């Protein structure tokens, strides 16, 4: 069975963990705003329509503008991952917005994703869209003209919140950057090193060793094309083994500690010490990751609400970098699967011969220099990271950030829950308090 190459995204994991009832009370609605195709060319007057949603259910004139910044995904009105954002809208009596990033969801400035058309896809353009968005809403909506602005963002969008403060400090008063990607490595081998460390921490040495043994054994069988490999293939189990890095990373990235513990118990059960059983186990995990295989289609020029692969690859090749690879020996998946040169080779394959490693590397360096990398030099931004999030090393993860153990990527923005562990609860309350202080001029 053929499975396309998958592309690494800071992908969001949709779980229904917030009741419809909670969201229904916000009476959120979609709307559109006209934006410029090229924000940086005054003589280009072409425009397009960007999608957003809003809720004014709890708004009181003078209350803050609150924006949940969209990243490489389609926005949804039931943003189950951001319950805390909605709770703050209610508490601060704010006017809430979800903005969609250009080239994602239904927000396309162009008719297709040809290389020529992709040139207006950049973080800088998206930040300029946000600045105009705020100015527009302030001028159009009664009671917003002097409002303070709070922005919340997760993952890539956490980076956007940070850079927005860096470039448009007059347009934002407070920001919450959860799991924010700020520093772009070309070869992000730290990601799988981190996944390996988490497997060892949560599943013990036996779990780590099992994953390593099975990975190495699989690649050996595959190279030799031996009877074991052919049997795995006949049973359709190779597909799971091919995605072993994605399956484990996604679990570590998005799950909480309790859930991971359960996975570990299953992983290290004696029956999995057999490549067939182990592959079945991976297959079982893969069924729990609904979007694992849906980010392919980097070849497809079609504009589609649910495909992100080509756009995200474009951004990665044009300065975002962070190509997750198996370059390091300090990770348990073997080095055969995603060698750096192969991963980065996708840029050339999709976007033309000028995308050599040196070229892509220079673009990544420029991004880091321009945006400041680990030194974004901003105030009034609250940085959080999940301790085991494999993308943590792309962000500020020292004493400037709150590192929260036991949770997954961006879980600190989920609705408050009595089951939250003390450090999670403390991080949430601290963030809410900072937002309150910063919009009150403290």
Ligand X SMILES: *[C@@H]1O[C@H](CO)[C@@H](O)[C@H](O)[C@H]1NC(C)=O
**Is residue 70 a contact partner of residue 126, using CB atoms and an 8 Å limit?**
no
Q: Which is nearer to ligand X, 23 or 255 (CB)?
A: 255
Distance CA 304, CA 282 (A): 30
Give least dist CB 363 to ligand X, A. 18
Encoded one letter per residue, x for contact with ligand X by CB under 6 A and - for no contact, window 49-78 reads ------------------------------
- If binding is defined by CB under 6 A, does position 440 make contact with ligand X? no
The half-sphere exposure of 221 on its side-chain side, counting CA atoms within 13 A, is: 19
DSSP labels for 346-407? HHHHHH-TT--HHHHHHHHHHHHHHH-TT----SSEEEEEETT-TTGGGS--STTEEEETT-
Instruction: Please state the φ and ψ torsions of residue 145, each to the nearest 5 degrees.
Output: -60, -35
Strand-pairing partners, residue 69, are: 99
- If binding is defined by CB under 6 A, does position 259 make contact with ligand X? yes
Q: Which is nearer to ligand X, 25 or 265 (CB)?
A: 265
Give least dist CB 261 to ligand X, A. 8
Q: Which of 19, 41, 224, 300 binds ligand X (CB under 6 A)?
A: 41
Give least dist CB 66 to ligand X, A. 24
Q: Which of 4, 262, 290, 405 binds ligand X (CB under 6 A)?
A: 262
Q: Given CA atoms 67, 72, 76, 79 in this order, what sign does their dihedral have?
A: negative
DSSP labels for 214-248? HHHHHHHHHHHT-HHHHHHHHTT-HHHHHTHHHHH
Nearest alpha-carbon partner for 278 in 290, 287, 268? 268
Q: Which of 149, 186, 263, 343 binds ligand X (CB under 6 A)?
A: 263
The half-sphere exposure of 26 on its side-chain side, counting CA atoms within 13 A, is: 28
Which range, of 38-46, 211-219, 295-303, 330-338, touches ligand X by CB under 6 A? 38-46
Distance CA 308, CA 437 (A): 37
Which range, of 36-44, 130-138, 380-388, 430-438, touches ligand X by CB under 6 A? 36-44
Q: Which of 44, 273, 299, 433 binds ligand X (CB under 6 A)?
A: 44
Distance CA 50, CA 218 (A): 46
Q: Which of 114, 258, 341, 440 binds ligand X (CB under 6 A)?
A: 258
Q: Which of 2, 21, 43, 418 binds ligand X (CB under 6 A)?
A: 43
3 state DSSP class of 80: helix
Which range, of 79-87, 258-266, 320-328, 348-356, touches ligand X by CB under 6 A? 258-266
Instruction: Return left, alpha or beta for 96; rule: phi > 0 is left, psi -120 to 50 is alpha, else beta.
Output: beta
DSSP labels for 262-305? HHHHHHTSGGGSSHHHHHHHHHHHHHT-TTTTTT--TT-----T
Which range, of 54-62, 253-261, 318-326, 427-435, touches ligand X by CB under 6 A? 253-261
Give least dist CB 388 to ligand X, A. 13
Distance CA 368, CA 418 (A): 40
Q: Which residues contact 47 (CB under 8 A, 6 or more apart)?
A: 34, 35, 36, 37
- If binding is defined by CB under 6 A, does position 34 make contact with ligand X? no
- If binding is defined by CB under 6 A, does position 225 make contact with ligand X? yes
Which range, of 107-115, 151-159, 177-185, 230-238, touches ligand X by CB under 6 A? 230-238
Q: Which is nearer to ligand X, 144 or 337 (CB)?
A: 337
- The CB-nearest residue to ligand X is 262
- If binding is defined by CB under 6 A, does position 19 make contact with ligand X? no
Which range, of 21-29, 191-199, 229-237, 270-278, touches ligand X by CB under 6 A? 229-237
Q: Report 375-434 residues binding ligand X (CB under 6 A).
A: 377, 419, 421
Q: Which is nearer to ligand X, 185 or 263 (CB)?
A: 263
**Is residue 373 a contact partner of residue 322, using CB atoms and an 8 Å limit?**
no
Instruction: List contacts with ligand X (CB under 6 A).
Output: 1, 41, 43-45, 225, 230, 235-236, 256, 258-259, 262-263, 266, 284, 377, 419, 421
């Amino acid at each position: 069975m053929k499975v396309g190459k998958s592309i690494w995204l800071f992908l969001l994991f949709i779980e229904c963990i917030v009741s419809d009832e909670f969201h229904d009370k916000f009476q959120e609605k979609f709307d559109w705003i006209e934006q410029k195709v090229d924000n940086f060319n005054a003589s280009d007057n072409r425009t397009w329509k960007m999608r957003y949603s809003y809720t004014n259910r709890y708004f009181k004139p003078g209350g803050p503008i609150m924006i949940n910044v969209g990243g490489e995904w389609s926005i949804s009105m039931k943003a189950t991952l951001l319950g805390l954002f909605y709770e703050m809208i209610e508490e601060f009596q704010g006017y809430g917005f979800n903005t969609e990033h250009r080239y994602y969801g239904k927000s396309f400035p162009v008719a297709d994703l040809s290389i020529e058309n992709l040139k207006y896809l950049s973080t800088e353009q998206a930040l300029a869209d946000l600045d105009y968005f705020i100015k527009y809403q302030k001028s159009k909506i009664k009671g917003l003209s002097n409002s303070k602005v709070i922005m919340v963002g997760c993952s890539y969008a956490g980076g956007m919140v940070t850079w927005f403060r860096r470039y448009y400090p007059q347009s934002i008063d407070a920001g919450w950057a959860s799991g924010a990607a700020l520093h772009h490595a070309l070869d992000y081998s730290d990601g799988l090193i981190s996944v390996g460390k988490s497997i060892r921490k949560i599943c013990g040495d036996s779990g780590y060793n099992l994953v390593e043994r099975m990975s190495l054994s699989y690649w050996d069988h595959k190279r030799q094309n031996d009877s074991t490999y052919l049997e795995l293939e006949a049973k359709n189990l190779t597909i799971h083994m091919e995605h072993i890095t994605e399956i484990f990373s996604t679990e570590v990235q998005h799950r909480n500690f309790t859930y991971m513990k359960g996975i570990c118990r299953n992983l290290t059960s004696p029956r999995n010490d057999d490549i067939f059983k182990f592959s079945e186990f991976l297959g079982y995990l893969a069924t729990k990751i609904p979007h694992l295989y849906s980010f392919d289609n980097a070849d497809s020029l079609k504009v589609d609400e649910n495909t992100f692969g080509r756009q995200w690859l474009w951004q990665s090749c044009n300065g975002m970098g962070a190509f997750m690879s198996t370059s390091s020996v300090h990770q348990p998946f073997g080095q055969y699967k995603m060698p750096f040169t192969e991963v980065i080779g996708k840029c050339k394959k999709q976007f033309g011969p000028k995308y050599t490693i040196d070229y892509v590397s220079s673009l990544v360096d420029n991004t880091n220099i321009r945006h400041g990398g680990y030194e974004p030099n901003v105030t009034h931004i609250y940085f959080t990271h999940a301790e085991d999030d494999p993308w943590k090393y792309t962000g500020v993860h020292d004493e400037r950030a709150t590192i929260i153990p036991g949770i997954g990527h961006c879980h600190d923005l989920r609705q408050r829950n009595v089951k939250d562990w003390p450090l999670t609860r403390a991080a949430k309350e601290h963030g809410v308090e900072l937002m309150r202080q910063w919009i009150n001029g403290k």
